């Protein structure tokens, strides 16, 4: 026992002696921080904007006293909006028509749904209004729901009516029993809520560039946005039946201003849509 203790003490003295060779310490590899890639941020999804210039081809839409046609105003603003949004990163922009052609109104929502796929997207349908009362002016924005007022029912009938040259209309959409099912599905998917939200942003921006009355956000069973499975709005840029507003609606400067307002509204809307996981349905607003 005494001999083993003496041997152990001798070994300790050897290790601690100056110049003694000590056992190698365990080596820990520390990577050069300059060579370590930062964690990959989750990229924002591509967002899709489908622009729908109303009417077209043999369907002129509403026509003003000086001959300005709704289809031409809608196309001019739609093309200007596409140019404005093409400069925004992570946006994919489509037009239902980029020239003077007719597209059945029931196909437009289906087209938008196909273009969107499984990505976040919105539909913006562009129109102008008309009334027998030639003094009426202003801008209004619609989302899909049951009409509540006589004016909303009149706009729905006007925009859903078949064109004079033939083709597929939608005059019966307001009384179609299938509409109740569609509206219920949209409520379940929360698209109706988001459409109302988008309509609010669009109306707010357009009111800043439109000299006429701010006629507010309205709702109606509009065929063109009925079967678009995404937030969608229909914009009435003014009343072509009013001579002063007809001149405004034919002015390229107004086309650019309206397109800029619509672009700002869409970009602002995408700042909160789609909601992130865990957020409330109103996007935390």
**Domain membership flag for residue 282:** no
Burial 213-231 (b: 16+ CB within 10 A, else e): eebebbbbbbbbbbbbbbb
State the pLDDT at residue 43: 57
Quote the domain boundaries for residue 54: 47-270
Asked whether the beta carbons of 255 and 176 are under 8 A apart, the reply is: no
Indicate whether 132 belongs to any domain: yes
Q: Residue 23 domain-assigned? A: no
Q: In the chain, how many domains are there?
A: 1
Percent of the chain with pLDDT strictly greater than 70: 71
Would residue 249 count as lying in a domain?
Answer: yes
* 34 found inside a domain: no
Phi, psi of 143 (to 5 degrees): -125, 165
Best-predicted range by mean pLDDT among 23-32, 39-48, 191-200?
191-200
Domain assignment of residue 26, yes or no: no
Peptide bond into 274 cis (omega under 30): yes
Q: What is the pLDDT of residues 215-265, one digit of tens each?
A: 999 988 888 888 888 999 999 999 999 999 999 999 999 999 999 999 999
pLDDT of amino acid 156: 72
Instruction: Indicate whether 40 belongs to any domain.
Output: no
Question: pTM surpassing 0.85?
Answer: no
Comparing 8-22, 77-91, 227-241, 250-264, which segment has the lowest mean pLDDT? 8-22
Please check whether residue 130 lies inside any domain of the structure.
yes
CATH code for the domain of 230: 3.40.630.40
């Amino acid at each position: 026992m005494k001999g083993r203790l003496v041997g152990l003490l001798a070994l300790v003295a050897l290790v601690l002696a100056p110049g003694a060779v000590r056992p190698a310490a365990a080596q820990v590899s520390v990577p050069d921080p300059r060579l370590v890639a930062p964690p990959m941020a989750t990229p924002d999804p591509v967002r899709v904007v489908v622009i729908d210039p109303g009417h077209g081809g043999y369907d002129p839409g509403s026509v003003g006293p000086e001959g300005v046609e709704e289809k031409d105003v809608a196309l001019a603003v739609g093309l200007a909006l596409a140019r404005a949004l093409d400069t925004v990163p992570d946006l994919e922009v489509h037009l239902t028509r980029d020239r003077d052609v007719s597209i059945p109104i029931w196909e437009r929502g289906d087209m938008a749904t196909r273009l969107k796929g499984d990505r976040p997207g919105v539909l913006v349908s562009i129109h102008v209004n008309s009334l027998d009362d030639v003094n009426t002016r202003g801008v209004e924005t619609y989302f899909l729901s049951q009409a509540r007022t006589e004016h909303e029912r009149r706009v729905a009938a006007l925009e859903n009516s078949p064109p004079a040259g033939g083709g597929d209309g939608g005059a019966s959409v307001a009384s179609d029993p299938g509409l109740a099912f569609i509206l219920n599905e949209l409520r379940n998917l929360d698209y109706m809520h988001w459409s109302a939200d988008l309509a609010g942003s669009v109306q707010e921006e357009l009111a800043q560039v439109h000299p006429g009355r701010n006629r507010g956000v309205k709702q109606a069973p509009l065929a063109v946005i009925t079967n678009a499975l995404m937030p969608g709005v229909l914009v009435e840029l003014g009343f072509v039946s009013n001579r002063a507003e007809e001149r405004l609606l034919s002015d390229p400067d107004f086309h650019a201003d309206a397109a800029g307002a619509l672009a700002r509204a869409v970009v602002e809307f995408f700042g909160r849509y789609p909601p992130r996981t865990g957020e409330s349905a109103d996007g935390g607003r």
